[in-house]
Amino acid sequence: MSQLKPLSAIARAGDLMFRETPSQTAGPYVHIGLALSVAGLPQRDMEIWNQLATEEAEGERIALVGTVIDGNGDVVRDIFVEAWQANARGEYCDEYSPTNAFNGFGRAAPDVLSDGEWSFDTIKPGCVKDSRGQWMAPHVALSLFARGINLALHTRLYFEDEAQANASCPVLNAVESPQRRQTMIARRDGERHGVPCYRLDIRLQGEGETVFFDF
Amino acid sequence: MSFDPSRRFVERNRRWHPPAFAPDYKTSVARSPRQSLVSLQHPTATELRGPTFSRADLGPHDNDLLLNYREGTPQDGLPIGERIIIFGRVVDQFAKPVPHTLVEMWQANAGGRYRHKKDQYLAPLDPNFGGVGRTLTDEQGWYRFRTIRPGPYPWPNGVNHWRPAHIHVSIMGPSLSTRLITQLYFEGDPLIPRCPIVQTLNDREAVESLTARLDLERSRPMDALAYRFDIVTRGEFQTFFESQG
């Protein structure tokens, strides 16, 4: 077996647990595997993509858009983003199905020849309580994978029109610098396809660097 | 699926994983945060839950890269290269199988060429090879793919850098906390110790754990060699006490 030692071979207490498989970058061609249309590959019958909600989904339809910017100020055109969010009632729905009106999970990547913007069609999530019973502000968890990113970066997208909920969100408040909390707050940016659009430009490094979480 | 609010995962060892800033891998220099990660002392349902795909309707040959590119078309044919089976088990750090979890993979063809708009390498595409697969682990955490062994390819990092033969592997696991993308390498490949992406790992054992082993016994005689690649996701346990406070 490649990593699983027999129990008899475990000598030190520190070895009583297996070690997690180490991460590696998703590389420049992540699209072949996880975003087929962007790579130019034919679609399979079911693809996990950036439309989380259909017309039938309960809740307020919204669009989320943004770019990811590197330490030089350049747009990361080969970024791959995953979104995970609660439904309009603040419940996580684990069972992904192409027939669901709403799936809490989606994926996006800018077209390789475009301006580098990713987008999701979704609904505005409801509030979820944290593990100690405090209400968190509505948010969407975003995970970033790309060439040059050795281990996924996790952040959250919050909404600027939820100022009151944001101010009391225990996770936002876990960020010591109030200024840095702002890096997770998406701004209203007009409409897209007739629905309100929120924009979050994520900065990987340097001035205005986005908050990334460890959990 | 029921969710236990006291669910916890073993802390991720970020010294075992590659660091964000690994300057020999040049792209990481401008794509690594300078600020510290903000630790969530009390992960929430957002981090402790995640999507499951048992109802997602994967296609019957989604894990068979020998068949899944041009299958059923008039040009139908087999790809060129070493026919191999990649298989293994997904378990957590406590050796508990991770059943029904989504395992996805992608790779270059036998010549090291990716079927991607942006890959300009002069090695040709294989008309019968796409390079993408996905499957769910079974009840005991086993998964398998059938494919062609990928070739190494050059990349613009150093002046003469070549990636070892590798397959990109993506694992969902039971939550957002276990989500992982990695790369599988092949036993005995002399490019492994020369690769700056592999060498983002500081621990030799970490590299070993990404190296698939030839498993001759599970090979199919006169058909395909087999390589075993086990995957370990973060250990899941329940806390005994929800709060000390």
Chain B residues whose beta carbon lies within 8 Å of the beta carbon of residue A20? 10, 12-13, 16-17, 93, 180, 232-234
Q: How many CA atoms, within 13 angstroms, populate the side-chain half-sphere of residue A94? A: 19
Distances (CA, A) of A94 to A142, B2, B174, B175: 16, 9, 10, 9
**If you average pLDDT over residues A97-102, what whole number do you get?**
97
The average confidence (pLDDT) of chain B is: 94
Residue type at position B182: T
Give the pLDDT confidence score for residue B76 in this predicted structure. Answer: 80
Q: Give residues with Cβ within 8 angstroms of B235, minimum separation 6.
A: A17, A18, B9, B10, B92, B93, B94, B96
Chain B residues whose beta carbon lies within 8 Å of the beta carbon of residue A170? 42
User: CB contact, 8 Å: B8 with chain A?
Assistant: no
Give the pLDDT confidence score for residue B74 in this predicted structure. Answer: 76
Give the pLDDT confidence score for residue A114 in this predicted structure. Answer: 87
**CA-closest candidate to residue A120, choices A135, A104, A134:** A104
The answer to whether the CB atoms of A19 and B16 lie below 8 A apart is yes
Distances (CA, A) of B178 to A5, B3, B52: 21, 15, 12
Q: So where are chain A's domains?
A: 25-203
Give the pLDDT confidence score for residue A60 in this predicted structure. Answer: 98
Chain B residues whose beta carbon lies within 8 Å of the beta carbon of residue A175? 38
**Which CATH number is associated with domain A25-203?**
2.60.130.10
Q: β-strands B211-214, B180-186: how paired?
A: parallel
The CATH architecture that domain B51-232 belongs to is Sandwich (2.60)
Alpha carbon of A23: minimum distance to chain B alpha carbons (Å): 5
Q: Which of residues 147-166 of A touch B (CB under 8 A)?
A: 147-154, 156
Q: What angle do CA A96, B142, B212 make, to 5 degrees?
A: 115
Chain B residue with minimal CA distance to A44?
A: B59
pLDDT tens, position by position, A157-215: 999 999 999 999 999 999 999 999 999 999 999 999 999 999 999 999 999 999 999 99
Q: So where are chain B's domains?
A: 51-232
Confidence check: pLDDT of B105 > 60: yes
Q: Just list the catalytic residues of B.
A: 114, 153, 163, 166, 168
Most B CBs within 10 Å: which of A1, A2, A34, as the mutation test of the B interface? A2
Q: Using CB atoms, pick whichever of A33, A74, A92 lies closest to residue B45.
A: A92
